[in-house]
Every structure is written in C-alpha cells, then in structure tokens.
Amino acid sequence: MRSELFGTLPGGSPYGSSDGTPVTAVTPVHRWTLERGGVRVRVLTYGGIVQSAEVPDRAGVTADVVLGFPSLEGYLAHPGPFLGALVGRYANRIAGGRFLLDGRTYHLAQNNGPNALHGGGRGFDKRVWDAEPVEHGVRLHRVSPHGEEGFPGRLEVSATYTLDEDGALRIAYEAVTDAPTVVNLTNHTYWNLGGADCGDAAGGHEVRIAASRYTPADADLVPTGEFAEVAGTAYDFREPREPGLGHDRNYVLDKGVTATPVEVAGLYDPASGRTLSVATTEPGLQLYTSDHFDDALPFAPGAGIALETQHFPDSPNRPHFPTTELRPGEVFRSETVYGFGTRV
C-alpha cells in the first residue's frame, strides 16, 4: 500500500477542506494504492473516489474495470456522473429538497430539478478527505459541519477501504452526530468488467439482483411510496440477464437490513469471464446503466453499470421506508463488499 500526490485544488476552493470550510492554500489530493490477492485498487482523497480496480480475466490478463479519469482535472471538469465517488450526506434523492425531522422542516440544496440529489451541489464527492493507513487499506474521514448543504448536525464520518485476502474490496462506513440528522452513504463506481475502455457494458453484461420488489418512481425518479413486484416487468433480475439501457431504479432487497454483508447482486461479462459480486448490509440497491452520459465524457451511454447499495431514496419523507435517522449517541454503520472472480 502506498500514497502519492495525484493533483492539487487551487487556493480558495470550497472543496479544499475536510470540514467544509474554504482554504487559502493549495490543497493536495493523494491517491492510495491497495494491492492484495491479485487485485490493485486506487482510491483518491478527493471525493473518496475509487479511481481504478485492476483484476484478471479468465486467461489471467489484467484490466481496469472501473470508469475513471487519469487526472484530477477530469473529475473536476465532469462532476455530474459521480464517477467512483463516495456519496453523502444523503445518497439518491430527497423530494423537494426538504424533510421533516422532530417537527422541524429542513431545506436542502436543490441540485436535481426541485430535488436534492447525492448530498447537494457540494456533497461528500466534492470534498478532500483526511486519510490514514490501516491494515490492507486506507481510512478516509471528515467532519461535515452543521448546516452543510442544509443538513442538520455536525457529522463525523469515516469510510475505510480495504482489500480482503482474496482481493475483494470492502468499504465500511461509520458516522456519529451531535444532533438528530439523516444519513445515507454509498459508492458510485461504474463497472465495466470487459475493461473500462471496451465499450458497452449494459449491452454485454449479465446482471443479477436478489430483489422481488422495487420502489416505483415519478418522472423525477422520486419514489411514489409504493412497493411493486418485479415479476413480469423489465425490473426482474432475479435470474441473470442483460439489462440494456433505461435503468435507474431502486430495488428492495429481499434480505432487508442486516448486521453483516449479505450477497445481493452480481455482474458477469461473458467475453472476459470476469465476475463481480456485491454483498451489503443495506436494504436497497440502485441499478443505473449510465444512460445520461453525454458527448463531453470519454464514455458512451451504457459504458458502465452502477450498483449503488443504499437505503431507499426519499426515506426521510416516507416513514414506512427503513429509517435513515441518526441521533446523538448512536453510530451509523454500513458495509459493502465487492468480490472479483472469473468463470470459464
């Protein structure tokens, strides 16, 4: 494991401090390289981004299976896709950019039409995190101050990236608060098991999701509050199949919230033989087939598939959804494991 300078943010950048305050000096961004079990993963202190994951195919040929940029400038120029990023304080959407907690309405940054998306305009994905080495990995941490992007409470949060003995990437999140708040964290990596530059993942991969239900959504992709069966619909991935384009939906995982990660999803690329398994403690998973990539990106629509483990979108406004509330004295914990393998 090693760390190296990846780039710098200019002085005065609002993204240049782990506690959210502007800084006057140039802020360094470091890249941490983790290697174990034949896998090499690179993580940035900017946005907690998984920049790359190099894994072998069925013939032992290694390729990067994560969509990313070779320089910091790429991430600064193209923040919209959230490539590889650690997303928070609240992943996915909150309707109307507001929610009610303990009788008080909190107004958030509206950065997705009328809604709040992925923590707002300057969410966790656009902050430089402090970093320290841990066994087989790196721990990123920061303080999100009270009022950041409209969220209440001073939130101390960490994300620890480690590689297991077999090369699986494990991301463990923890957070504590000094006032009631809501928290929902995820990783927004786009996977292409054929190789990041090989083209259309959505048209060539097989997707599997252990979910019998999903949350229907309106035109703004905000849940209606219902739970619908996937049987007989385009959302049924209980058996592996190619997704094609057109997917940006939250799935209600059959296993619910669990104390330890349970395998819930997988990808398979028949051409390379590479497989990806996803295990999580979370109750939901957002499948997104990168439909909205535009011409400014070096990746076409469908070039990567995101499998975002999460609590449900708009949970703060839906009391019957699994709660995302965090209160003083409690510890938020979430863990997701990405396992790599091959099939003949």
Task: Tell me which residue of 113, 111, 119, 116 sits closest to 47, measured CA to CA.
Answer: 119
The amino acid sitting at 188 is H
Check the annotation: does 324 bind a ligand: no
263 included as an active-site residue:
no
Residue with tokens 């035109």: 219
Is residue 335 within 8 Å of 329, Cβ to Cβ?
Answer: no
Is residue 111 within 8 Å of 91, Cβ to Cβ?
Answer: no
- Lookup: tokens for 71: 């320089």
Report d(CA 144, CA 160) in Å as an integer.
17
Check the annotation: does 248 bind a ligand: yes
Is residue 101 within 8 Å of 325, Cβ to Cβ?
Answer: yes
Candidates 54, 148, 188, 311; catalytic one: 188
Candidates 54, 148, 282, 308; catalytic one: 308
Check the annotation: does 98 bind a ligand: no
Please provide residue 95's backbone torsions phi and psi, each rounded to the nearest 5 degrees. -60, 135
Report d(CA 335, CA 344) in Å as an integer.
30
Check the annotation: does 190 bind a ligand: yes
The rounded Cα 285 to chain-centroid distance in angstroms is 10
188 included as an active-site residue:
yes
- H helical segments located in the chain: 72-77
Annotated binding site for beta-D-galactose: 92-93, 188-190, 248
Catalytic residues: 188, 308
